[in-house]
């Protein structure tokens, strides 16, 4: 099955810093989503981005489907950005999301 | 409105109990999903319903029994669970399978 790898596994930053999270996937995909899981377990949709670039406030994402990777950029980090960031892909024909292992982001004040 | 609701938020049950988890969406989505998430791990798919029919069962033990009574509602019936089944159970929905999925807040289940 498809392999989804995220890096780095852990990231600790000071408030105000910028960061780049990476997601590599091993096969062609229909769908790629980025989520933020808050401390209570809620998965919050950040981006649905099978290809191209999107921006939402301080966050932006780019997926290069032909090279099988996606990047999530967080600028001017705030403590509320802390949590686990997952990318998840839907391999073509698979009907399901396969998640990476996540990046645990800690933003210190 | 992109809301998926789940009840209860927390559930503690003994190994001989029978309980049910409930998931509801009113976005007109026709695909609904159950995922299981253990601590410090990513969510893993359990079941997919597409147009109210079970389309994927990821070899889940029969002590977990899904039900989709209508296009807005998804249940997960639990019976004779084991302590290792303790986890966060997440429900999701999408317009159709293969489209963007939206997750509920989850039910945190503890089996004693």
pLDDT, one tens digit per residue, over A45-91 is 999 999 999 999 999 999 999 999 999 999 999 999 999 999 999 87
B93 CB neighbours in chain A (<8 A) are: none
Look at A43 and B43 and tell me if their CB atoms are within 8 Å. Answer: yes
Query: What is the pLDDT at residue B106?
Result: 97
Residue A23, pLDDT above cutoff 70:
yes
Radius of gyration of chain B (CA): 13
| Selection from A96, A87, A97, A105 nearest residue A33 by Cα | A87
Which candidate in A95, A100, A102 is best for mutational testing of the B interface (most B CBs within 10 A)? A95
Which residues in chain B show pLDDT less than 50? none
B32 CB neighbours in chain A (<8 A) are: none
Look at A97 and B101 and tell me if their CB atoms are within 8 Å. Answer: yes
**Chain B residue with minimal CA distance to A32?**
B100
In Å, how far from its chain's centre is CA A109? 23
Look at A96 and B42 and tell me if their CB atoms are within 8 Å. Answer: no
Query: What is the pLDDT at residue B1?
Result: 60
Quick check: B45 and B35 in contact, CB under 8 A?
yes
**What would the DSSP string read from start to end of A14-70?**
ETT--EEEEEEESS-EEEEEEEEE-TT-PEEEEEE-SSEEEEETTEEEEEEGGGTEE
Query: What is the pLDDT at residue B41?
Result: 97
The C-alpha atoms of residue B22 and residue B99 are separated, in whole angstroms, by: 22
B108 CB neighbours in chain A (<8 A) are: 41
| Selection from B101, B77, B72 nearest residue B89 by Cα | B77
Query: What is the pLDDT at residue B98?
Result: 73
Chain A, residues 20-79, CB within 8 A of chain B, namely 30-31, 33, 35, 40-43, 45, 48
């Amino acid at each position: 099955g498809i392999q989804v790898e995220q890096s780095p596994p852990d990231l600790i930053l000071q408030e105000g810093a910028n960061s780049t999270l990476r997601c590599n996937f091993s096969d062609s995909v229909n769908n790629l989503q980025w989520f933020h899981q808050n401390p209570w377990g809620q998965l919050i949709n950040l981006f649905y981005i099978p290809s191209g670039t999107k921006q939402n406030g301080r966050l932006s994402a780019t997926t290069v489907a032909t090279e099988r990777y996606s990047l999530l950029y967080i600028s001017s980090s705030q403590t509320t950005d802390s949590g686990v960031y997952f990318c998840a892909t839907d391999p073509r024909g698979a009907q399901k999301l396969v998640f990476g292992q996540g990046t645990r982001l800690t933003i210190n004040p | 409105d992109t809301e998926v609701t789940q009840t209860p938020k927390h559930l503690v049950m003994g190994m001989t109990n029978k309980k049910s988890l409930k998931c509801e969406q009113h976005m007109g989505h026709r695909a609904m999903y159950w995922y299981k998430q253990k601590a410090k791990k990513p969510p893993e798919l359990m079941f997919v319903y597409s147009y109210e029919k079970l389309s994927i069962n990821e070899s889940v033990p029969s002590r977990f029994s899904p039900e989709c009574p209508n296009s807005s509602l998804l249940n997960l019936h639990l019976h004779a669970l084991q302590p290792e089944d303790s986890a966060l159970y997440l429900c999701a929905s999408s317009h159709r399978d293969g489209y963007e999925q939206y997750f509920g807040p989850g039910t945190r289940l503890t089996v004693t």
